[in-house]
Amino acid sequence: MNYLKSVMITTGIAAILICSGAITETIRTDRLEASTGSSRWENQPQELQEKLTKSWSGGIEAIRNTLNENSENENITEWKLFYSLEDSLNTLPNQEHSSFITAFYSNERRTMLETGDIMPALLLHPDHTKAILYWEKHDGTYAIITLESQINANNKPEWNVSHSWITKQPSST
């Protein structure tokens, strides 16, 4: 009888572990599909896609022009472009998410963002120590906010806004 109880208990525990693993995997897969699907601007109408692509390309040109005018030797060609905060967070270490989100939704962003502005994009440096948040404003200018990761007093990386400005529309558009 004790042998039968132990077999049933062991089988029950194994079944619970298998089911919980399957449920966890299903939830993880659903979240992944939902997050990538819902954050993709490609699912939008063609006209909107073209407007966003033109705006984001113009923003990259405005950033290049501004960096050249300020004699900053930053080559943004290798930077990765993101269309959502959620997608960019997937490339950063988990311990940096909170400070990155705080910097992303900074006071500078809140004061520069106005009704009629176009959806922002984010450029992330390959070494994940710098980012540039930008968007086209309703008047054709571009809002640009640079974020940088620095080591704080606790010897941990922390993201902060380093600069913010409004720049003119690139002459090539």
pLDDT, the chain, mean: 80
Count of other CB atoms within 10 angstroms of residue 136: 25
Q: Give the C-alpha separation, 52 to 64, whole Å.
A: 18
Average pLDDT of the segment spanning 80-84: 91
Give yes or no for residue 38 having a pLDDT over 50: no
Q: Give the C-alpha separation, 63 to 136, whole Å.
A: 11
pTM of the model: 0.71
Average pLDDT of the segment spanning 152-158: 90
Structure tokens at 142: 């571009």
Q: Give the C-alpha separation, 101 to 103, whole Å.
A: 5
User: Which has more pLDDT, 160 or 17?
Assistant: 160
* Among candidate residues 97, 108, 171, the one with its CA nearest the CA of residue 135: 108
Give yes or no for residue 97 having a pLDDT over 60: yes
Residue 131 makes CB contacts below 8 A (sequence gap 6+) with: 88, 100, 122, 123, 124, 125, 146, 147, 148, 159
Residue 101 makes CB contacts below 8 A (sequence gap 6+) with: 85, 89
